[in-house]
Structure 1
Amino acid sequence: MTTQTIVTRIVPDRAVVYLYWATTLMVVAELAVGGWWDVARIPLARDVVVTLGYPTYFLVILGVWKMLGALALVVPKFPLVKEWAYAGAFFVYTGAIASHLTTGYKLAEVPILTVMALVTAASWALRPEDRRTH
């Protein structure tokens, strides 16, 4: 039994489509905006990354991949690329959670990051058949 089958038994089909797009657009927006901020090395992003112990060039690498991940999630087809984008987003959020918990820096961001990790997982679980690998 697939995740989609379980979800559609609980929620009507139309609601699943709306939930998929709502969660996906949240992830895409965060990846796109966050990626742009990372590449631009805005002070907010730079200060957090430096305080967590990462070099500033890490922002550019991370930002480019975030923006490519956002793009991958909205373009049609390429289900394998979408799988990688979901995995990358999940790694970004859970890695950020671990970094904040390890350093004790800005622990108030942990709940937000946790929600984003869960929203990413929800988007992945709700994706339509044509956006899945088989």
Structure 2
Amino acid sequence: MSVTIAHEKNTKVESRSIGRKAAYWTVTIILAFSIALSGIGQLMRYGGNVDLVTDIGFPLYVTNILGAWKLLGVIAIIVPGLPRLKEWAYSGIFFLMTGAALSHAFANDYGDYGFHTILPLVYAALVIASWALRPKSRKL
């Protein structure tokens, strides 16, 4: 009987572990894809990226800085190993996203339905979720 209980416990632990890994990778892939597209758009000055920056008073060259840091951050989060670099990348992307939301809010540039402030905060929430769900192999 104790063997059956131990087996049931192991099965529950394994299913939680698999569920946690699936949640981590789902959130992380959504985050990485979104931030990478944003970074590429900024580097290429594609679409509304120019207006997003200049409408709040930032110089256009900021798109080069932000775009490069976003892509480097995504690479650091996705590649295996380098747990300390991952910590820096998570915090950097979090600061980028909360800084973007605050910059738009302070400039009274909320966008349609608050899009310019809400979307970066959604990305910041994804950063927190990915960081919290990461497996032991990706932690310090």
Q: After TM superposition, is the score higher than 0.5?
A: yes
Partner Cα distance (1:111, 1:63) in 2: 19
Compare CA radii of gyration and give the structure with the larger one. Answer: 2
Shift of 1:110: 1.9
- 1:65 and 2:69 aligned: yes
Shift of 1:13: 1.4
- Tell me the alpha carbon deviations over residues 77-127 of structure 1, each in whole angstroms, 9 at most, x when there is no partner: 000111111011101110011011111111333222221111110000010
Partner Cα distance (1:108, 1:23) in 2: 20
RMSD of the TM alignment (CA)?
1.5
Partner Cα distance (1:95, 1:102) in 2: 10
Letter in 2 for 1:95: G
Letter in 1 for 2:81: K
The number of residues matched between the two structures is 124
Q: After alignment, is 106-115 or 92-101 more displaced?
A: 106-115
Pairwise mapping of residues 5-44 of structure 1 onto structure 2 (< 5 A)?
12-44=16-48
- 1:125 and 2:129 aligned: no
Identity of aligned residues (%): 36
- 1:48 and 2:55 aligned: no
Letter in 2 for 1:16: R
Larger relative contact order (Cα-Cα within 8 Å, sequence gap ≥ 6): 1
Question: What residue ranges of structure 2 are gaps of 5+ in the alignment?
Answer: 1-12
- 1:104 and 2:108 aligned: yes
Question: TM-score w.r.t. structure 1 length?
Answer: 0.87
Partner Cα distance (2:71, 2:115) in 1: 25
Give the equivalent residue in structure 1 for 2:4: none
The alignment partner of 2:48 has SS state of helix
